[in-house]
A and B are shown apart, each in its own frame.
Chain A
Amino acid sequence: MLVLTNVLFVGIPVTTGLIVDALQGGRPDEVPRLAALMVAFAAGTAITRILSRVWIFNAARAAEYDLRGDLFRHLLRLDLPWYRAHPTGDVMSRLTNDVQTVRAMWGAGILNVINTLVAFVTVIAMMVRVDPWLTLWACLPYPTIAVLGRIFGKRVYKTSQAVQAQLGALSNEIQEDLTSIQAIKSYGLEGVRKERFRVSSQKLLEKNMALTRVRGQLGPAFAALGALSSIVVLWVGGRAVMRGDIALGQLVEMSGYLARLVWPTLALGWMLSLLQRGRASWNRLETLFAERPTVTDGDGGRLDATELRGGVEVRDLKVALGGRTILDGVSFTVPAGTTTAIVGRTGSGKSTLVEAICRLVDIPPGTVFLDGRDVTSLTLRDLRQAIGYAPQEAFLFSTTIADNVAFGYGAGSSIPRARAEELERVTGSLAPHLGIPAFTEGAPDPRITAAAEAAGLTRDLAAMPDHYATVVGERGITLSGGQRQRVALARAIASDPRLLILDDSLSSVDAETEKVILERLQQVLAGRTALLISHRVAAVKNAHQIVVLDEGKVAETGTHAQLLARGGVYAELYRTQLAAQAAGLPAEAAS
């Protein structure tokens, strides 16, 4: 299509040349026919050009779509430690800025490469037809393009990398300042921080100007190349006309061809910077694609969910993250169908321990067993399907409460129907792809209502405008910390799991509600294996077993009564909390 476009496009200077010849040769009556031919060529060019541009840009968008999809799927497979080491902002910047730049390279870049090549080939072929010698003369300046390309390519790459680096530095500074805003205000640091920011912003200005200078030279350099060619043709061709070697019309035709080369040549310069920037972005994306999750599926066969009993054994588990030892030889057994509580100070490794059981962090084989099977031999899907887990940070998606709970048993959508409809409304009739299944319509699944009931959400839901269809999040209802925790709790129990892990799931719930939920939880926990992390004695004293963690090691294990009698860490915790509760004081003040 592009070739056809350019071939047709060459017809235009040919007819122009013929017209000039006709005018000069005193045959003006031929002109209307030639002019009509030229218009026909123009129409043909327009049609093929529209088709080829639409095709290429759509292809680039389609490629961008695939790239985004692949990237997102890849990201979802990377493990938690990777995410803790890579700020979300950085990853987002890959998915937005870098993908855009690569797409620009594909769309506009490829279009121009093909256009330029075809334009050069066809135009030179036509020129040779008119006069080979003159063509040779006209092409004389063009080999310099290679030299210019090499010089400018490197400079564009280097200067634009410098701009990106400085932009990154500036962003970091802004982030540092904004997250420390209270300290800045209390210490009156506005002046120094502002000065620092000014210096960084000034540096960015300078880097940007360096890039501007390179780009500013690029355009004129390539334009001058085209002009040089025109001069040569005028000079050499002019003499040829005077000698009578070629007709004046041929010279005009020749100039016409050269004019066709001006834009492809200029585009070449522009493309150069586009391709260099695209290359840099593509390299960054490749680095990201090269990241491999450390936590991978085991190959020890399937886990039959119906046969699962939920017994857990932890054997000399050691976990180090970022060079720091978090768990240092933890061992304990949770018999199937019993509840084990894990207590310990902040930083003692409780959350890491349950993350290790779910294999959210990498663990060595032979350290954690589920029903006697090494969890590293299971597929991640089977393992996690067996577990209902309410993590400490009660992260909810900005969809309906029903959907959030339904995630627990693998249903639900993170795009609520209401938002999909709103998107369609805002964007007009152009949104055929946003027809999200209407999961949130009608009566919620009984699994959702049962889980919400058990998590003590029913009363809260009744007070909300759309009940189960209430959308959580910035533009929906802002739930309190306690409400969020209870939705996360409902999500964990919705799948009726054999093994339930609750990581400090009621810390933001007030004492009265906690009591009610704990009573209900007793029924939920009956017959299930459960691991409970809590700071509150009230929540753990009924457990069959209590494991006290201290600095990554098991300090003591036993029942509430046994540990009290032992008079160790747990006994101390119990006494201070009991008194603090009586006094209405925080546990922290007493510990």
Chain B
Amino acid sequence: MSAGRAAPPAVASRATAGESNLGKAYDVRLMRRLARFVWPHWRLLVVSALLIPLTIALDLAQPYVVKIAIVDHIAKGDGDGLGVLALVFLGLVAAQSVSAYVEQWAIQLLGQRSMHDLRLAIYDHVLGRRAAFFDRMPVGRLMTRMTNDIESLNEMFAAGVVTLFADAIKMIAIACIMFSIDWELTLVTFVTLPLLVLLVNYARNAMRTSFRVIRVRLAAMNAFVQEHLLGIKVVQIFRREEAAAREYDMINAGHRDAYLVSIRADAAMYALVEAIGILAIALVAWWAARDLGVSGDTIATVGIVVVFIEYINKFFIPVRDLSAKYAVMQGAMAATERIVELLDTEEPDAPPGQARPSARAQGALAQGERAAVAFDRVEFAYGDEPVLRGVSFEIPRGKTVAIVGATGSGKSTLIKLLTRLYEIGDGAITIDGADIRSLPPADLRRRVTVVSQDAALFAGTVFDNIALGAVASGRSVTRDEVARAASRVGLDRLLARRAEGLDAPVGDRGSAFSAGERQLLVFARALVRNPEILVLDEATAHVDPEAEELIERGVDELMRGRTTLVIAHRLSTIRHADQIVVLDRGRVVERGTHDELVAKGGAYAQLERTFHRSGN
């Protein structure tokens, strides 16, 4: 039992951090970042942009047809053209429907494609971070960026920015048409505009404040719930069910009440915009009546009033729905901000570093041997805590070096440094004399294969999982080859119990497989990979005796003739190693062959005696 495994994440993330910053509904810097993902699909934007005026024109033409029908036909008692006008109206409606549909389709496709690209970019970026990044970043948070946050951005395309744009064009067009019909009445209509501006301004400010409060409270509430679900065992043991529920009520009430202001602002906006619209209509009617007293042209006036009523209605509807769109935009901007923040994180994986000229410690090598891998005064620290302090040793070509040491002595860190999952603090690691920082990371990781105790399995079949070993080298693997690898490590005997054999499905991180099966599967994967240098982190978990024996054989098969660094937990592995390096608190305290170290009578010798006595 290692110390690390006993230590769970102490607490769930309190998501309030980083969620409290004020979200604007529009931010030029963020929009510019987003634009990069939208731009490649500009053709769809053009389609949509061309259709928007068309849809608007088709929509706005409808009241005009009504006006012609009333003024030129019905009012004059001329029924001949009425049928034609009805058909024209019908045609306009149909054309508008089609145009609106295509416009929406194009804009949605634009949104979906851009979001798809953005999602891939985030995925790409995240996968390109170094291992330390993942130690810090909870998986849940990264998942939220790639799913929920992207969905909020998607909402923006569905209901937000593009519609806002279309609405603006539509409102300008309506104003122009009204002007062309009767500029006087238009001015009368827009006397109400200052009222509208005041109202929109009030609602926007109220909502902005409200949304900030909502976000903070929502994050706090979700963090509270998550923590209690993760710590359900503690909640139940210490009978905190009721106390926790009461506390949750408080947070929950805070969340509920955070909406009060925004609900009020939304209602006020919706109802008052409508009222202002009617006020405008009343003003127009009143003005027209006054005019009529002067000119006396009844028919023309009635027609104009009717058409103005229609246009005023159409003008105010988008304004009325502004608050809903504002909420969507706000959410999308907040999501964009979080995504951009993630995309801006540094810590690239294995950056081209400056390889230092290495003074290779050759002393311990016999004549004619060549160090395949050499650690030269390697230093490493997690933050301020030194983990490795001047570790030096070599692995000659085709030989096996076993690392022995207590939990926390830095064994696993050595592996992570060798594959550049972590970056060396000081000193150097060389392969065939070349500093690993001078090798392309892909090459380095192709030459060095790590077989670790947490056997990472992916959804697919056993065959798929083994064949993954050959992926990096770009060659395809035959079924024969996979079957051979499986039988060499002894996996075939365990697989024989499953009807599907190599095609047995591996679901949910391999939970249907025993620890032994998982270990052997990973051995087979490593064999297919056929690495130049093998790094083996022996599992500490106990498995049944049969699997134990199979694993031992598998390990032998894997190590045969290969340059191997092994973090050993089994006596047989340790004893067969060409050299043993004893690590203690980040320092090499002893090294030599089994016989040498036993003769030396140090720390290793003592351990060895225990093994003998217990008959292991």
Residues of A within 8 A of B239 (CB): 380-381, 384-385, 410
Q: Is the CB of A61 within 8 A of B263?
A: yes
For A414, give its contact among B227, B241, B301 (CB under 8 Å). B227
* Shortest distance from the beta carbon of B526 to any chain A beta carbon, whole Å: 9
- A242-278 CB mask vs B (1 if < 8 Å, else 0) is 1000001001100110010001000000000000000
Q: Is the CB of B241 within 8 A of A235?
A: no
- Contacts of B576-616 to chain A: CB distance below 8 A: 584, 603-604, 606-607, 609-611, 613-614, 616
CA distance A358 to B90 in the complex (A): 74
Q: Is the CB of A182 within 8 A of B421?
A: yes
Where chain A touches its partner, the secondary structure class is helix
- A528-540 CB mask vs B (1 if < 8 Å, else 0) is 0000000100000
Query: Does any Cβ of A come within 8 Å of B47's Cβ?
Result: no
Query: Does any Cβ of B come within 8 Å of A241's Cβ?
Result: yes
For B224, give its contact among A46, A387, A415, A485 (CB under 8 Å). A415
CA distance A362 to B243 in the complex (A): 24
CA distance A220 to B83 in the complex (A): 23
Q: Is the CB of B471 within 8 A of A29?
A: no
CA distance A65 to B8 in the complex (A): 32
For B271, give its contact among A50, A186, A575 (CB under 8 Å). A50
- A210-252 CB mask vs B (1 if < 8 Å, else 0) is 0011001101110110011011001100110110000010011
Q: Is the CB of B607 within 8 A of A590?
A: yes
- Most B CB within 10 A of own CB, among A32, A76, A220, A589: A589
Residues of B within 8 A of A69 (CB): 245, 248-249, 252
Given contacts A186-B445, A220-B101, contact A96 B237 (CB under 8 A): no
**Interface-facing stretch out of A19-27, A312-320, A552-560:** A19-27
* Shortest distance from the beta carbon of A168 to any chain B beta carbon, whole Å: 9
CA distance A20 to B293 in the complex (A): 14
CA distance A422 to B217 in the complex (A): 11
- Contacts of A24-65 to chain B: CB distance below 8 A: 24, 26, 28-32, 34-36, 38-39, 41-43, 45-47, 49-50, 53-54, 57-58, 61-62, 64-65
Residues of A within 8 A of B267 (CB): 49-50, 53-54, 57
Given contacts A175-B139, A381-B239, A415-B224, contact A504 B11 (CB under 8 A): no
- Contacts of B230-262 to chain A: CB distance below 8 A: 230-241, 243-245, 247-261
Nearest B residue to A5 via CB reads B271
**Interface-facing stretch out of A150-158, A196-204, A448-456, A457-465:** A196-204
- A170-188 CB mask vs B (1 if < 8 Å, else 0) is 1111111111111111111
Q: Is the CB of A189 within 8 A of B471?
A: yes
Q: Is the CB of B89 within 8 A of A58?
A: no
Query: Does any Cβ of A come within 8 Å of B305's Cβ?
Result: yes
* Shortest distance from the beta carbon of A571 to any chain B beta carbon, whole Å: 9
Query: Does any Cβ of A come within 8 Å of B439's Cβ?
Result: no
Query: Does any Cβ of B come within 8 Å of A515's Cβ?
Result: no
For A72, give its contact among B115, B124, B225, B253 (CB under 8 Å). B225
* Shortest distance from the beta carbon of A185 to any chain B beta carbon, whole Å: 6
Q: Is the CB of B584 within 8 A of A242?
A: no
Query: Does any Cβ of A come within 8 Å of B461's Cβ?
Result: no
Q: Is the CB of A423 within 8 A of B14?
A: no
CA distance A433 to B139 in the complex (A): 32
Residues of A within 8 A of B139 (CB): 175, 178-179
Nearest B residue to A393 via CB reads B8
For A579, give its contact among B227, B266, B606 (CB under 8 Å). B606
Count of chain A residues with a beta carbon within 8 Å of a chain B beta carbon: 178
Residues of B within 8 A of A38 (CB): 278, 281-282, 285
Query: Does any Cβ of A come within 8 Å of B389's Cβ?
Result: no
For B238, give its contact among A174, A175, A202, A491 (CB under 8 Å). A491
Q: Is the CB of A185 within 8 A of B421?
A: yes
Query: Does any Cβ of B come within 8 Å of A391's Cβ?
Result: yes
CA distance A423 to B223 in the complex (A): 13
Q: Is the CB of B13 within 8 A of A194?
A: no
- Most B CB within 10 A of own CB, among A49, A92, A189, A583: A583
Q: Is the CB of A187 within 8 A of B74?
A: no
Residues of B within 8 A of A209 (CB): 108-109, 112
* Shortest distance from the beta carbon of A127 to any chain B beta carbon, whole Å: 17
For B282, give its contact among A24, A36, A64, A345 (CB under 8 Å). A36
**Interface-facing stretch out of B140-148, B491-499, B556-564:** B140-148
* Shortest distance from the beta carbon of B459 to any chain A beta carbon, whole Å: 6
Query: Does any Cβ of B come within 8 Å of A472's Cβ?
Result: yes
Q: Is the CB of B4 within 8 A of A481?
A: yes
For B6, give its contact among A251, A430, A504, A579 (CB under 8 Å). A504
Listed A/B pairs (26) with beta-carbon separation below 8 Å: A29-B289, A31-B286, A31-B289, A35-B289, A75-B232, A91-B229, A181-B131, A181-B134, A185-B131, A186-B421, A194-B120, A220-B98, A224-B93, A224-B97, A251-B70, A252-B70, A360-B233, A398-B223, A412-B243, A430-B257, A432-B257, A481-B6, A572-B614, A576-B610, A585-B603, A588-B540
Instruction: List 5 additional contacts besides A16-B281, A582-B606; criterion CB under 8 Å.
Output: A45-B275, A167-B147, A194-B120, A241-B75, A535-B1
Q: Which 7 A-B pairs have the closest CB atoms?
A: A188-B472, A579-B610, A31-B289, A183-B456, A481-B7, A220-B97, A42-B278
